[in-house]
A and B are shown apart, each in its own frame.
Chain A
Amino acid sequence: MPTALDAGFYPQAGPAASARRVRALIRRHAYLLLKSWPRLVSMAYYPTVTMVLWAFLTIYLKPTTSFLQDAPGFFIGAVLLWDVLFRGQLGVSLTFIEEMYSRNLGNLFVSPLRLYEFIAGQLTLSVLRTLIGVGGACFFAWLLFRYSIFSLGFPLIAYFWLLLAFGWSIGLAVSAMILRWGLGAEELAWAAIFLVAPVSGVYYPIAVLPAWLQSVAWMLPSAHAFEGMRAVLLQGAFPWHHFWAALLLDIGYLIVGAATFRYAINYARVHGKLLQMGE
């Protein structure tokens, strides 16, 4: 009798099996994205429009603003890196919402797919969505304003991953809240990230915040990342202390985000929500 343990099937345990299941999740979302050019365009649309807005503001302010004369890519770099954080979070949350809208969570969680594989799939899809969305904006920044964010060099890679990881942790927490409170909480996917925007110092130094708010800001990896980016642009130095602080905070937030998501899945199992979630 042929069964799932026989030759017609790949082994069900081990890293190769996990990788195969994560690939299946990516395939599922790739099918969705690649057949819909409006979806692809909309992913790059907002980052590009925001970038253009800040680029024109830079052109307007540059003659009278000394730091823009020293670092004309200041605002454009900031907005592109902010979008890495935003798209990173959205990539995780929207992937999850898509499964809820499809009423597909029951099928997925009855398959051999494990929770950590599901999360790995969400994070991988987040990277792809971010690369498509922010990549488009980067291309237009170069095409229209001759600004290449890649001129940041190594620090760009560091800040990209630091911000992306923070976006993942928020995305996992938002997914947990949506699972806990239903699709009525969907707005959180779009709005949650803006709670950290004022204290991340995207366009201004953390020093301009009130003292008590500065203490809050330094607990966010994004504040360290944007402060570091400004140091690279204005002083030409890579502040390692901001890098390490952001990295450690990211690890902490990712653990909390994943634990919150796991808690929400267990809550859904106890309250029978995995089979009932949907539009």
Chain B
Amino acid sequence: MLVAADAAIVVADLRKCYGAVEAVKGISFAVRAGTTTALLGGNGAGKTTTLSMLLGVLTPTAGSIAVLGCDMLKDRYRVLPRMNFTSPYVDLPRRLTVGENLRVFADLYGVREPKQRIAELAVEFDLTNLLARPYGNLSAGQRTRVSLAKALLNRPEVLLLDEPTASLDPDIGDRMRTYLERYQRDNRCTMLLASHNMGEVERMCDDVIMMREGLVVDQGSPRHLIEQYGRENMEEVFLDVARGGGEESDLGAPTREVAA
């Protein structure tokens, strides 16, 4: 695998098996530092499994992962303070208020001025009026905003986002994307996001990694992939890849030939 010298995330021959089921089948990719990359694929493609291995909460069956130059399988505690994540698979304690939850994680990440940092994020994510409310009393969209605020407490250099704007209304979703874009630009943060929102991918991502059935089947910039598949947008490219590379599938829809 050709690895860019400025890669923030380097994955090589990564495999994950659950018994006889091979969820991730020896994938390799690199994510350039300071860019936003999407990990795309249908349900069961292996995106969340891959993100979990990148975070160190899932042990790979084989392969290697380097984040910011550190081996995640051996030295993850050296790099964990410099990264963060959001995922629909985790939650925050529901009986604690938003402010209390953020304070606990600010302390875990060693934030020197936790009150100031929480106040800043509360303004950015429109949480100021929610800080005293129990997390369990919030709507799904409000919880997503709190999770994003938690993910940015430590000003991460690498941010892994699993469905970051799911359950947000279009207005709030747009504001979150704008904030993440600004954060990424100002901090040269490396973002890897799994999303089913193709508009979000086209807008935010410099690169796209397409997965299907545990394999990386294609990668490139959104514009490059759209041209390569001869499509109008990433939604159509996604359908092509999810349904087997442009061939007509049982699900119907895309029937045009793949351009390359």
Question: Footprint of B on A, CB under 8 Å?
Answer: 1-5, 7-12, 17, 20-21, 23-25, 27-28, 31-32, 35-36, 98, 102-114, 266, 269-272, 274-276, 278
* Cβ-neighbour of A20 out of B56, B105, B110, B113 (below 8 A): B110
* Cβ-neighbour of A274 out of B48, B58, B95 (below 8 A): B58
Minimum Cβ distance to chain A for residue B194 (Å): 13
Q: Are B188 and A1 in contact (CB under 8 A)?
A: yes
**How many angstroms between the C-alpha atoms of A10 and B90 in the bound complex?**
26
Minimum Cβ distance to chain B for residue A161 (Å): 28
Write the B26-64 contact mask toward A (1 if CB under 8 angstroms, else 0). Answer: 000000000000000000000011001001111100000
Identify 22 residue pairs between A and B in the complex whose beta-carbon atoms are under 8 Å apart, listed by A's number. A1-B187, A4-B110, A8-B113, A9-B109, A10-B112, A24-B105, A24-B108, A25-B108, A27-B104, A27-B107, A31-B100, A35-B95, A107-B150, A110-B55, A110-B56, A111-B109, A112-B77, A269-B59, A270-B59, A272-B58, A275-B48, A275-B90
Given contacts A1-B188, A3-B155, A17-B110, contact A9 B81 (CB under 8 A): yes
Name B88-117 residues within 8 Å CB distance of A: 89-97, 100, 103-105, 107-113, 117
Q: Are A9 and B57 in contact (CB under 8 A)?
A: no
Q: Are A4 and B82 in contact (CB under 8 A)?
A: yes
**Could you say which residues of chain B place their CB within 8 Å of the CB of A21?**
107-108
Q: Are A272 and B154 in contact (CB under 8 A)?
A: no
Q: Are A275 and B89 in contact (CB under 8 A)?
A: yes
Q: Are A3 and B104 in contact (CB under 8 A)?
A: no
Which of B57, B105, B113, B157 has most chain A Cβ within 10 Å?
B57
Given contacts A27-B103, A102-B94, A110-B56, contact A8 B112 (CB under 8 A): yes
Q: Does B80 contact A (CB under 8 A)?
A: yes
Q: Are B92 and A102 in contact (CB under 8 A)?
A: yes
**How many angstroms between the C-alpha atoms of A2 and B82 in the bound complex?**
11
**Could you say which residues of chain B place their CB within 8 Å of the CB of A17?**
110
**Could you say which residues of chain A place their CB within 8 Å of the CB of B94?**
102
**Could you say which residues of chain B place their CB within 8 Å of the CB of A102?**
91-94
Q: Are A106 and B89 in contact (CB under 8 A)?
A: yes
Q: Are A9 and B111 in contact (CB under 8 A)?
A: yes
Which size class do B's interface residues fall under?
35 or more
Q: Are B56 and A32 in contact (CB under 8 A)?
A: no
Name B143-170 residues within 8 Å CB distance of A: 150, 154-157
Q: Are B110 and A275 in contact (CB under 8 A)?
A: no
**How many angstroms between the C-alpha atoms of A17 and B117 in the bound complex?**
19
**Could you say which residues of chain B place their CB within 8 Å of the CB of A2?**
155, 187
Q: Are A276 and B107 in contact (CB under 8 A)?
A: no
Which of A7, A9, A10, A111 has most chain B Cβ within 10 Å?
A111
Name the CB-closest residue of B to A270: B59
Given contacts A32-B93, A102-B91, A104-B93, contact A7 B56 (CB under 8 A): no
Name B62-91 residues within 8 Å CB distance of A: 77, 80-82, 84-85, 87, 89-91
**How many angstroms between the C-alpha atoms of A276 and B57 in the bound complex?**
11
Which of A9, A107, A275 has most chain B Cβ within 10 Å?
A107
Name the CB-closest residue of B to A12: B81
Q: A31-B104, A104-B92, A112-B77 are in contact. List 20 more A-B contacts (CB 8 A).
A: A3-B155, A4-B110, A8-B112, A8-B117, A9-B110, A10-B110, A21-B107, A21-B108, A24-B107, A27-B103, A28-B96, A32-B95, A103-B91, A105-B90, A110-B84, A110-B85, A111-B105, A114-B77, A271-B18, A272-B52
Q: Are B52 and A112 in contact (CB under 8 A)?
A: no
**How many angstroms between the C-alpha atoms of A28 and B94 in the bound complex?**
11
